[in-house]
Structure 1
Amino acid sequence: MSTAGSIIYKAFMPTLKMVLCIVLGFFATKKGWLTAPGAKGLGAIVIQITLPALLFSSMVSAFTPENIKAFGPLVIVAVSYQMLGLMFAWCIREIFYVPIDFRWGILLIQTIVGNLPTAIVQTMAKEAPFNPAVDVDLGVAYIAIFIFIMNTTFWGLGVHKLCAWDFQDKHRIPDHPPLKERWSSQIEMTKGKISKWTGSRKTGSTTLDMESQTIPGMEMIDQGAEEEGSIRRELERNGVEPYLPPCSSAEDITPVYATPLIDPNGPIRRSSSRLPQYSSAKSTSSPPQPITTLEEEDHESISPQPKRPMWKRIGTLLYNLPNVTKAIIISIPIATIQPLKALFAETEGWSGSRMPYGPDGNPPLAFVIETSSFLGAIAVPGALLLLGASFARLKMPKNWSELPLGAIVALTISKMILVPIFGIFVIQALRDRTSLFPRSDKIRTFISILLSGTPSQVIQLVVTQTYNPDGTAETLSSFLLLQYALMFILSTALAAIALYVVER
């Protein structure tokens, strides 16, 4: 078992590498080398090309029919972290002040898992107690499962649209009253509902509810009588005597609208209303003809569109999926079906015997994995450079009191401390009392603990900048700034604790 100093050093070095990349991105932006359009292009390359390539190469190489069973436990852990983070974010929004352009986005920042732990895993999995020949790629493949769940909720379920709600007037959440007044009003409202409910129960047990016994149509009669009485009173106050001619039962009363003889400067001023006078008319008119509205004509003129075939709808759905999700969906069957995997990577029982090698002595499609690995090496450094660039463009207010410091601190504590505490104890309990996290699969336990407390992914930063008409995400950057400033300490501590749990 490693000493405490050795564990801390192993956890510190990958974090230092990440911090240096962020600092380089910061200075490159300040020097003008990484401009805003350049950062946007780099972000598109990372998200659309390099990250899918990294996940594809890692999952095809690492997953086998035996360890694919880890998919289920890791999905459970990933969803648990998302639900816990969502609960903390909602509580923070209700308790602390959050700027109006981040009251929906704060619900997402706790549920997004990034690919930054990949740098830590790629470094730490090369040394004991892990197996460098297997655990490096396997660790990246396990991280891909967390990213897959995040992409499914963020893109597949349309949760990313919450970022746009912060900039739409119809969805914006207004400022809350002070916490004390808000909770007191909620308590009073609850008391009123309870007393009303109990009172109606008591009244209903002794007397009949007359309101529930009304005859259908009586409401319209009462309303018409009230309108007629109000018109009569208004005419009498202005010295006008209403006249209602007599009519027999064989006559229909039809309203004839005429302009009332009322002084426009008098107390009653109605620009468009007319008072009804009534005249008798024999019911000899022809029955009314049905009126065809323009909407009905349009509806009749438009023929229903034929339904698209199912295969076309499925194809459209798959086409609109993010490239990261496509890479994961494609890589899982390739990794688990042995004849397919033998085309791309070394497969025991297939490579060289059932599946012949190419002229270079490698599997026939090994160049696909090599190209994906080559492109995937850019993903993590590129994302870190983008993060440093976003911090460089962050405009801090002159007065620190203008920042929502309470919400920023609370969010960082919940994201980087409280959720990791939950993850450490739950993963240990699952390892010791169930078969979901076997002791032999050390990298699975390490990944599950490590991803409980990593900073939020920068993808939300890119999406928020896209939805914001100004093209900025200053509020989100201020929330991320504290997380990444403390990452140097908190991520090192969490990685050291995860390594200690694995070795224990």
Structure 2
Amino acid sequence: MSLTLGQAIWASVKPIIKIYLIIGSGFILSKANILTADGIKCISSIVLTLLLPCLSFNKIVANIEDQDIKQVGIICLTSALLFGTGLFCAFVVRSFMPVPKKWRGGILAGGMFPNISDLPIAYLQTMDQGLIFTQEEGNKGVANVIIFLVMFMLLIFNLGGFRLIEQDFKYHDEESAERSTIEEATGNCEKETIGSSPEAPPVAHIGGSGPYQPNAGPEHLSSLGSITPQESQAVTVDSNQPQPLQTGRSAAISHRRRRSTASTIRTLEPQDSPTNGISDLVREYSNVDQYGRRRSDTHRSQLTLAGQYSTAERVRSSTLARMVTSDVNVNTQDVNESGKSLPPWLYKLSPTRYVVFFFKNCLRPCSIAVILALIIAFVPWLKALFVTTANTPKLKQAPDAQPALSFLMDYTAYIGAASVPFGLLLLGGTLGRLKIGKLYPGFWKSALTLVLLKLCIMPIFGVLWCDRLVKAGWVTWGDDRMLLFTIAINWALPSMTTQIYFTAAYTPDNAVETVQLDCVSFFLLIQYPIMVVTLPFLVTYFLKVQMKL
């Protein structure tokens, strides 16, 4: 089959149009405050715990077989080269160009981790219409991308790559944290006053280190929900509190929860108020206070003191549940506490906590789905229970002449199909909330240089690597062209959007300076306009010159 130059250009541009239309839709929904920060977090959790695992299981079981073990090995090796090259480029930029001290780890993470998942999958699913690739080849390419994604998750979670982002944050000293803990536990802190006399109604301080409502009167209290007169609480404001993150008048509305022994009060942002931008993401994702303590631990302590720490709450707030149901609720403290339940002599061994932490992260839904899918895909007798291919043995079929467990493939295909559209909508919604603050002098040069290295220079390395694989005899253009194409486009992807969520999670919601968020926002925002040109150019070149179509 031969393509004209016009056909090759159109085939490379058409997926970009679809991708950016979906991203733009998420952007508009975010600006209209329909896709709120809370909605982004909720949908992200659904994608992480259900949609992406279903997509991964379905594509791997259906499109990878035991003879593809070599291809899986090539993808693993390519991933190591891809991440290592990005890390090297970021290190060079950090060493010779102006980068804020508070983002020296973040720039390494930004260079090292590409956005492997929704973007390449959406690209491949647009090109499998028969002009260049068949639908079968497209599905095979999606399965290859998922293997790349597994290597990405292995590095950033299991091997602790998130610590590159976390190391940029310096919190208040531990002595102040301990003093604050004692004050909260004894109830003698000036920030919280509980009236005990009949004449004095209970008073609860709302705000703490988070945003607050300065003029909260009876009208404001009435909007907090259904509260009985016995449970009503007056609101006091501590003038000594540090100023919270805010980008508009709606930032004064509280998003934090304060729980007393009688009831819980939560203030919600009105749906018709203007969007708060990135400060909303911080309030939703922030997992630490100004002392670096996990908010989940503080919340658990409050529930325990209030006598409300039930079995269900214990399960929801457990370290394992928190780690595997969220993409960013993990930090160095989780590493250090891993293996604590083991015998003391074993826990004291240095490698123990890292080994336990590694296997804990293997319990993430997507990791479990991929592990199970690879086992099934590499064992023909198991694979025959789910799908029928030329290489699977013949087993007794269900009454509809389909494999006995084909209904699981139908379920995962139906649910998993929503993963990519939702992922791209979330990408647009997140970009819509990013705002560029005051940048470190000269940082724009460093960010732009690294972006050009990632999107213009690294794709050249990807093409050279594909050529090297063919010359070494590991793959051929005839049998492995989809694998080679998938490898090439993964070298041309922008940085991971998850870095925004990690940065917000490590930022206290009362932070005055947000250098890390300002840097990562600028770094991400300048990549997507450039990718409109660089990715189609790479694909056109690869189709015409490398694949000789």
User: Is the aligned partner of 1:320 residue 2:321?
Assistant: no
**Selected match of 1:364 from 368, 392, 404:** 404
Letter in 2 for 1:167: F
**Selected match of 2:137 from 107, 117, 135:** 135
CA offsets per residue over residues 229-259 of structure 1, 9 Å max, x none? xxxxxxxxxxxxxxxxxxxxxxxxxxxxxxx
User: Is the aligned partner of 1:157 residue 2:196?
Assistant: no
**Matches for 1:355-434 after TM superposition, within 5 Å:** 355-397=395-437, 404-434=443-473
Q: Is the 8 A contact 2:159 2:358 kept in 1?
A: no
Q: Is the 8 A contact 1:431 1:439 kept in 2?
A: no
In the TM superposition, what is the alpha-carbon distance from 1:146 to its structure 2 partner? 1.2
Structure 2 match to 1:244:
none
Structure 2 match to 1:495:
539
User: Distance in 1 between the 2:500 and 2:60 partners?
Assistant: 27
Find the residue that maps to 1:29 and give its secondary structure.
helix
In the TM superposition, what is the alpha-carbon distance from 1:306 to its structure 2 partner? 7.9
Letter in 1 for 2:151: I
User: Is the aligned partner of 1:443 residue 2:482?
Assistant: yes
Letter in 1 for 2:150: F
Structure 2 match to 1:94:
95
Q: Please say which structure displays the higher CA radius of gyration.
A: 1
Q: Does 464-473 or 363-372 show the bigger shift?
A: 464-473
Structure 2 match to 1:126:
129
Structure 2 match to 1:32:
33
In the TM superposition, what is the alpha-carbon distance from 1:364 to its structure 2 partner? 1.2
Gaps of at least 5 residues in structure 2 are: 174-341, 348-353
User: Distance in 2 between the 1:480 and 1:316 partners?
Assistant: 30
CA offsets per residue over residues 17-58 of structure 1, 9 Å max, x none? 111111111110111101111111111112222112111110
Matched pairs, number: 365
Q: Is the 8 A contact 1:111 1:150 kept in 2?
A: no
User: Distance in 2 between the 1:402 and 1:490 partners?
Assistant: 28
Structure 1 match to 2:18:
17
In the TM superposition, what is the alpha-carbon distance from 1:361 to its structure 2 partner? 2.3
User: Distance in 2 between the 1:139 and 1:364 partners?
Assistant: 26
User: Distance in 2 between the 1:403 and 1:387 partners?
Assistant: 27
User: Distance in 1 between the 2:468 and 2:431 partners?
Assistant: 39
CA offsets per residue over residues 214-235 of structure 1, 9 Å max, x none? xxxxxxxxxxxxxxxxxxxxxx
Letter in 1 for 2:379: I
User: Is the aligned partner of 1:68 residue 2:69?
Assistant: yes
Q: 1:316 to 1:83 in 2, by over 3 A?
A: closer
In the TM superposition, what is the alpha-carbon distance from 1:402 to its structure 2 partner? 5.6
CA offsets per residue over residues 316-353 of structure 1, 9 Å max, x none? 864532332222211111001011001111133656x4
Q: Is the 8 A contact 1:450 1:498 kept in 2?
A: no
State the TM-score, normalized to the length of structure 2.
0.62
User: Distance in 1 between the 2:482 and 2:45 partners?
Assistant: 30
Q: Is the 8 A contact 2:100 2:440 kept in 1?
A: no
Letter in 1 for 2:56: L
Structure 2 match to 1:108:
109
Gaps of at least 5 residues in structure 1 are: 172-302
Q: State the identity %.
A: 29
CA offsets per residue over residues 179-230 of structure 1, 9 Å max, x none? xxxxxxxxxxxxxxxxxxxxxxxxxxxxxxxxxxxxxxxxxxxxxxxxxxxx
Structure 2 match to 1:52:
53
**Matches for 1:148-297 after TM superposition, within 5 Å:** 148-168=150-170
User: Distance in 1 between the 2:407 and 2:446 partners?
Assistant: 49
Q: 1:359 to 1:304 in 2, by over 3 A?
A: closer
Q: 1:32 to 1:91 in 2, by over 3 A?
A: same
User: Distance in 1 between the 2:58 and 2:463 partners?
Assistant: 29
Q: 1:337 to 1:394 in 2, by over 3 A?
A: same
User: Distance in 2 between the 1:484 and 1:72 partners?
Assistant: 31
Q: Is the 8 A contact 1:383 1:458 kept in 2?
A: no
Letter in 1 for 2:109: L
Q: 1:102 to 1:438 in 2, by over 3 A?
A: same
State the TM-score, normalized to the length of structure 1.
0.68
Q: Is the 8 A contact 1:23 1:388 kept in 2?
A: yes
User: Distance in 1 between the 2:36 and 2:9 partners?
Assistant: 37
User: Distance in 2 between the 1:138 and 1:433 partners?
Assistant: 23
Structure 2 match to 1:347:
389
Q: Is the 8 A contact 1:164 1:468 kept in 2?
A: no
Q: Is the 8 A contact 2:106 2:165 kept in 1?
A: yes
Letter in 1 for 2:436: M
Structure 2 match to 1:462:
501
Query: Over aligned residues, Cα RMSD in angstroms?
Result: 2.6
Find the residue that maps to 1:105 and give its secondary structure.
helix
Q: Does 445-454 or 375-384 show the bigger shift?
A: 375-384
User: Distance in 2 between the 1:307 and 1:468 partners?
Assistant: 34
Find the residue that maps to 2:112 and give its secondary structure.
coil
Q: Is the 8 A contact 1:15 1:120 kept in 2?
A: yes
Q: Is the 8 A contact 2:55 2:416 kept in 1?
A: yes
In the TM superposition, what is the alpha-carbon distance from 1:503 to its structure 2 partner? 3.0
Letter in 2 for 1:88: C
Q: 1:314 to 1:413 in 2, by over 3 A?
A: closer
Q: 1:2 to 1:168 in 2, by over 3 A?
A: same
Structure having the higher helix fraction is: 1
CA offsets per residue over residues 406-453 of structure 1, 9 Å max, x none? 112111111101110111122123213422345321101111111111
User: Distance in 2 between the 1:304 and 1:481 partners?
Assistant: 48
Q: 1:161 to 1:304 in 2, by over 3 A?
A: closer
Q: Is the 8 A contact 1:54 1:377 kept in 2?
A: yes
